Amino acid sequence: MDNTTHITMLDENDKSVSMEVVASLKVNNVDYAILKDAARDEDYIFKVSGDPENQTFEMVEDETVLREVVDAYYELID
């Protein structure tokens, strides 16, 4: 049985993109999600806000924040 969770997002051209949820974690009291675009074989880190029924995802581009989230992810899986 596949326990993988997928969500559908809109890309910059308003096209639907299926993303696999790799992990969700909290870093410095902020929620983040690591999502994988299987079509491009790339991972992305998003800041997650809002309630569970109406979440918004904002792509993280700040290198310091990216490193903090990646480090927290590796601590989580170790």
Closest to 9 in 3D by CA, of 37, 32, 34, 31: 37
- 25 CA to centre of own chain: 9
Predicted confidence (pLDDT) per residue in 4-48, tens digit: 899 999 888 999 999 999 999 999 999 999 999 978 889 999 999
Q: Which two tokens stand for residue 56?
A: 């918004």
Task: Grade residue 57 by pLDDT with cuts at 50, 70 and 90.
Answer: very high
Query: In terms of DSSP H, where are the helices of 1-78?
Result: 63-77
Model confidence at 55: pLDDT above 70: yes
Stretch (H or E) spanning 37: strand 30-37
Q: Which of 20, 22, 24 is closest to 6 using CA atoms?
A: 20
What pTM was computed for the model? 0.87
Q: Give the distance from CA 32 to its chain's centroid.
A: 6
